[in-house]
Amino acid sequence: MTTVLLCLALFTVAAAAVAMAMRNLIHSALLLVASWAGIAAFYLWAGAEFVAFAQLLVYVGAISMVVLFAVLLTRHSRLDFDREPETRGRVRLALFTGGAVCGVLVAAVLGTAPSSVPAAVPSLTVRQLGLALMGPHAASLLAVGVVLTVALLGGVVLAASARHSDPEDAP
C-alpha cells in the first residue's frame, strides 16, 4: 500500500520537476498532463473515486487542451530564452526560496506526532456526495456555477477584445 503511494509520488513529482526545467514548452505541457494524471491516480489510491474522475476530466481533459492551444497560439520563434545571464540569479533565488519553503514544510510534517490511522477505508458513495452537494452545500454549488460562467465569459471577452478595437482605429 505504501509502495504504491511512493511510486505515485515519485512519478508525479519527477514529471512536474522535469516539466518545470524543460526548455520546450510543448514537452513541459505534456509532462504536466502526466503529473496531473498521477495526482488523479493518487485520488484513486486514497479512495476518492469521484474526485479522481473530476480531476481527469477537468485537468487531463480540459485544462490541458486550453494550455496546449495557448502554447501553440503564442509560439513566436525558436528564442525560448530562459538561459540569459540576467535570469540565472533569479533561478538561483527561486531555488533557494523553494528549498527553504520545502525545509520548513518537511520539518513541520516530520515534527508532528503521527495520529492514529483509522482501520477502515472511509466509504463515500456518489449518492452520498450528490446528496451532500445538493443539500447543505447547494448555495456554494450555485455560487461556483456563477463563478465559472462569469470567468469563462470574461475569458472570451479578454481573448477577443483586441479584434474589436481594430475597426475603431481604422478610419
Partner 1 sequence: MSVGPLQLCLLFSSALFCVGLIGALSRSNTILVLLGIELMLNAANLNFIAFWRFGPNPAAATGVIFVLFSIAVAAAEAAVGLALVIAIYRHQKNVRLQEASQLKG
Site for partner 1 in 130-149 (CB under 8 A): 132-133, 137, 140, 144, 147-148
As a whole number of angstroms, the distance between CA 48 and CA 159 comes to 35
Residue whose entry in the numeric block shows the C-alpha cell 465569459:
153
As a whole number of angstroms, the distance between CA 52 and CA 89 comes to 39
CB of 167 to partner 1, least distance (A): 15
Site for partner 1 in 76-95 (CB under 8 A): 76, 80-82, 87, 90-91, 93-95
Among 74, 78, 167, 169, binds partner 1 (CB under 8 A): 74
The sign one gets for the Cα dihedral 23, 28, 31, 32 is positive
CB of 73 to partner 1, least distance (A): 6
- Contact between 170 and partner 1 (CB under 8 A)? no
- Contact between 46 and partner 1 (CB under 8 A)? yes
As a whole number of angstroms, the distance between CA 33 and CA 96 comes to 26
